[in-house]
Amino acid sequence: MIRNSVRLAVAVALAAFFSPVPRVFAQDQTPATPPAAEPAAPRAAAPAFPPPDPADFTATSPTKEVVNAFMEANLGFDANAMWQVQAIQKTQISGINKVIVFVGDKTGKQQPYRFAFFTTPDGQHIIVGDRIIPFGEHPFAEYRTLLQQKANGPYRGAAGKDLEIVEFADFQCPHCKAAQANMDKLVTDFPKARIVFQNDPLPTIHPQSVRAAEYGVCVAKMGGATAFFQYASAVFDGQEGLNSADGATLTLNSSSTKAGLDPEKVAACAATPETKAAVEASMKLAGDVDVTQVPTLLVNGRAVPANAPYETLKEIIEFQAKQDGLAQ
């Protein structure tokens, strides 16, 4: 599933946590002076954030510079994004400080937001609502390293992991099916990227998703990456067949055949404890990098909805590559 897309919300690590700021930051909707008798449309203006109060900076950690670097890492892909560190305050718990940032849009077309979070004593994480996410000048480095070590699914593109795009998906998820058009474009537009598929089935709402993932593991094992992506394409194309157990058998067997493999051998492999463990390991990896919805991409550790508007998705990948010092 995916949240409604707005420009700032594409930065998944922050999007769920933005909340509207008070009315003092309402956009200026005063009409411009009309050039003729006909009234002009209202002209939006960039939000005017109030000057920060020095009294709201009672903690020495994190510094404004670190907070600004964190915001740049998350929102810097958007030239119209703007923000202001409004407060860095001590709390009643030693080592846990509160940070408030106002976020807006330079064009004035979107309502400003208030982003508040608590920093942990190690300075490497923040608490937002009921989630803990990486923090700092390079907030995605931890997940990037973990994925480089453990994202072992079939891949397209480069063998190297300098630019690694990891897709977490569920074969029975309609949004994952829709995202495949984006994934195919990424393979063409980013030939230097390693684009990995990782299973993240959601069996509570997609009962046949684990079985489809198990078949996929075996297809990749027996036929390699090329066979896997042929299988994946066929499963997504025939996704409606996964709505029942019998339909799933037909769909998965047919998809295995289209990948050039014997469906009976694939089914036998899919039933082994080793295969089940491989799917469970991929699901655990999704949890370890805080994937909370599918389809999600992690671009060098940075989470992005896989079915975001393609140009925005491309913009974020290019920005992240530049942040990581990679030539495109």
- CATH number of the domain bearing residue 270: 3.40.30.10
Residue 234 lies in a domain: yes
User: Cis omega (within 30 of 0) on the bond before 62?
Assistant: yes
* Last residue within a domain, chosen from 138, 160, 194: 138
Q: Is 1 inside a domain boundary?
A: no
Same domain flag for 187 and 111: no
Domain ends where: 138, 161, 194?
A: 138
- φ, ψ dihedrals at 299, nearest 5°: -100, 105
> What's the pTM value of the predicted model, to 2 decimals?
0.86
What confidence score (pLDDT) does residue 110 get?
A: 84
pLDDT for residue 12:
37
Residue 8: the pLDDT is 39
Q: Are residues 183 and 53 in the same domain?
A: no
Last residue of a domain, one of 138, 154, 187: 138
Residue given tokens 């409604």 in the structure block = 4
Q: Which domain holds residue 46?
A: 8-138
Total structural domains in the chain? Answer: 2
CA 182 to CA 175: how far, in whole Å?
Answer: 11
What is residue 43's predicted lDDT score, i.e. its pLDDT? 59
Q: How many residues appear in the chain? A: 328
**C-alpha triplet 173, 177, 180: angle, nearest 5°:** 140
Whether residue 149 is contained in a domain is answered as yes
Residue indicated by tokens 């897709």 = 167
Q: Identify the CA nearest to 162 among candidates 301, 69, 287, 304.
A: 301
Query: Looking at the domain assignment, is residue 328 inside a domain?
Result: no
156 in any annotated domain: yes
Do 250 and 304 fall within a single domain? yes
Same domain? For 65 and 160 the reply is no
Is residue 105 domain-shared with residue 175, that is, in the same domain?
no
The neighbour count for residue 258, using CB atoms within 10 Å, is: 17
152 domain-assigned:
yes
Q: Which two tokens stand for residue 301?
A: 């550790």
The answer as to whether 230 is a domain residue is: yes
Q: Would you say 265 and 222 are in contact if contact means Cβ atoms under 8 Å apart?
A: yes
Q: Is residue 155 part of a domain?
A: yes
Give the CA distances from residue 269 to residues 227, 247, 272, in Å, rounded to whole numbers and listed in that order: 15, 19, 6
191 and 276 together in one domain: yes
Same domain, yes or no: 88 and 120: yes
Place of tokens 């070590």: 149
Q: Are residues 207 and 276 in the same domain?
A: yes
Residues 220 and 306 in one domain: yes
How are beta strands 131-134 and 125-128 bridged, if at all? antiparallel
> Same domain for 72 and 217?
no
In a shared domain, residues 293 and 237:
yes
Contact 289, 271 (CB under 8 A): no
Return the HEC string of 59-98: CCCCCHHHHHHHHHHHHCCCCCEEEEEEEEEECCCCCCEE
Token pair of 213 as six digits? 């993932």
101 and 113 together in one domain:
yes
10-residue mean pLDDT profile of the chain (328 residues): values are: 38 39 34 44 77 97 97 95 97 97 92 94 94 94 98 97 98 98 97 98 97 98 98 98 97 98 98 98 97 96 96 96 88
